[in-house]
Amino acid sequence: MAISKGPLLEELVRAYFSKQGFYAIRSVPFSFEGNDVTDIDVWLYSRQTASVRIKAIVDVKNKRSPKAYERILWVKGLQSILKCDRAIIATTDENPGLAKFAHENNISVLSKGFLDRLDKKINVDARLSIEEFNLAIQENYNHKHDGDWIKVLSDTKSALASLGSFTAFNKAMMAFHFFADRMEVRSQYSNQLQRCLLSAASLACIALDGALEKLTFQDAVFRFEGVKDGITYGDSDGKFRQSLELAFRAISENVINGKTLASQAKENINQELSKIRADLIGEYFAREHNAQSLFSAAKELDEKAFAKESAAVELSIEARSILGVFADFVRVKRSILPIGRNLSAASEPAFEPQKSPETEATAADERIEKSLQGKLL
């Protein structure tokens, strides 16, 4: 499939930052309260140390008149809205004053000369482009009527950029469950579904890694509770739970037989929330060793999802273990996953929460990684 010059440049930029250690994905929709706002050409994420994450956006324009000055203003505003650490533009505009204007606004520029040199060094044909990925999905003519596979992944990417980390993780787990379910009954499209499943798992890893950043220096018990509450109630810092308590109190004090009704409502809600199995995710990733694997596993899963050849998926032990935990979390069979079909790992025991997460606590200074996972320009 021939790719037009705009998307081709986006693929080149994505590949460059991926080689620099970033988790880099293309065509990420940004939305607000259900309204589509804009698309991010390339979204970047890096786990620089155990306690430091970097998020960046790249605006890529390969046009005869790229209007680079206007793009600097645009990407600067989007950086502020998304609360990203860096903003970058990749442009074919050769205006000599562009770099100065960008520098004064703390925007990095990938110039035409730099992009031309990248084009000679990086082979973007080594993996599927997002256009080729979607074209493969469209081989199933009923994919839109079957829940719209492309939109499911697009919405998951959007959550990563638009929502809080735990909310984005829950969204990714819904997508993971969606594709896992279909792998059991759509065997004729197993290749496409496997790609979608791995992509959803990759996005889930990044969302969860971002959520764990603020819990880095806490002990295992606090991390366990933080992850459990975050998955159960979302990124609300306890506000959702407080709202529930206020609602129960209002029913108790202002409705006939209110205390009984409030007690019953609270019990029913707690029963429903307990089905989420957030304790499973909390227990596994409260262990620092497991949490540290999320970023590298995300990059690995993304590469496998977009690999030219996907018949045999060779995954690391860490990535297989994470896929298994995700499968247990959403209650799907491990045997349908790549870990079972291609690597004979279906026999791995399902992870079950333990009762004493505090035994896994480690000192804060032991959590800092010795080497950077990524670097900025």
Average pLDDT over residues 312-327: 89
pLDDT band, residue 93 (cuts 50/70/90): confident
Amino acid making up residue 294: L
Question: Averaged over 315-343, what is the pLDDT?
Answer: 83
pLDDT band at 258 (very low <50, low <70, confident <90, very high): confident
The answer to whether residue 377 scores a pLDDT higher than 50 is: no
The better pLDDT of the pair 344, 193 is held by: 193
Q: What is the pLDDT of residue 280?
A: 85
Give how far Cα 15 sits from Cα of 53, 161, 208, 289, 304, Å. Answer: 20, 19, 23, 28, 14
Using the predicted structure, report yes or no on whether residue 365 has a pLDDT greater than 50.
no
259 band by pLDDT with thresholds 50, 70 and 90: confident
Task: Tell me the Ramachandran region of residue 363: left when phi exceeds 0, alpha when psi lies from -120 to 50, beta otherwise.
Answer: beta
- Rounded CA gap, 178 and 174, in Å? 6
CB 269 within 8 A of CB 244: yes
Give the number of C-alpha atoms closer than 13 A to the C-alpha of residue 302, restricted to the C-beta side: 23
Q: In percent, how much of the chain has pLDDT > 70? A: 81
The residues facing 36 across adjacent strands are 31
- Lowest mean pLDDT: which of 239-243, 312-316, 372-376? 372-376
Q: Round the average pLDDT of the chain to a whole number and report it.
A: 82
Residue bearing tokens 């037989």: 257
Task: Identify the weakest region by mean pLDDT among 137-146, 272-281, 307-316.
Answer: 272-281
Report the pLDDT averaged over residues 38-47: 94
Helix (H) or strand (E) holding 172: helix 165-185
Number of Cβ within a 10 Å radius of residue 113: 10
Model confidence over 163-177: pLDDT tens digits? 888 899 999 999 999
- For residue 366, pLDDT over 60 is answered with no
The whole-number pLDDT of residue 363 equals 37
Return the domain boundaries, the chain: 5-125, 130-218+279-366
Of the CATH numbers 3.40.1350.10, 2.60.40.420, 3.40.50.720, 3.30.70.980, which one belongs to the domain with range 5-125? 3.40.1350.10
In this prediction, residues 230-241 reach a mean pLDDT of 68
What is the rounded end-to-end Cα distance, in angstroms, of the chain?
A: 32
Query: Model's pTM, two decimal places?
Result: 0.82
**Banded pLDDT at 272 (limits 50, 70, 90):** low
Looking at residue 304, its pLDDT comes to: 93
pLDDT at 339: 66
Note the pLDDT of residue 178: 95
Residue 299 pLDDT class (50, 70, 90 cuts):
very high
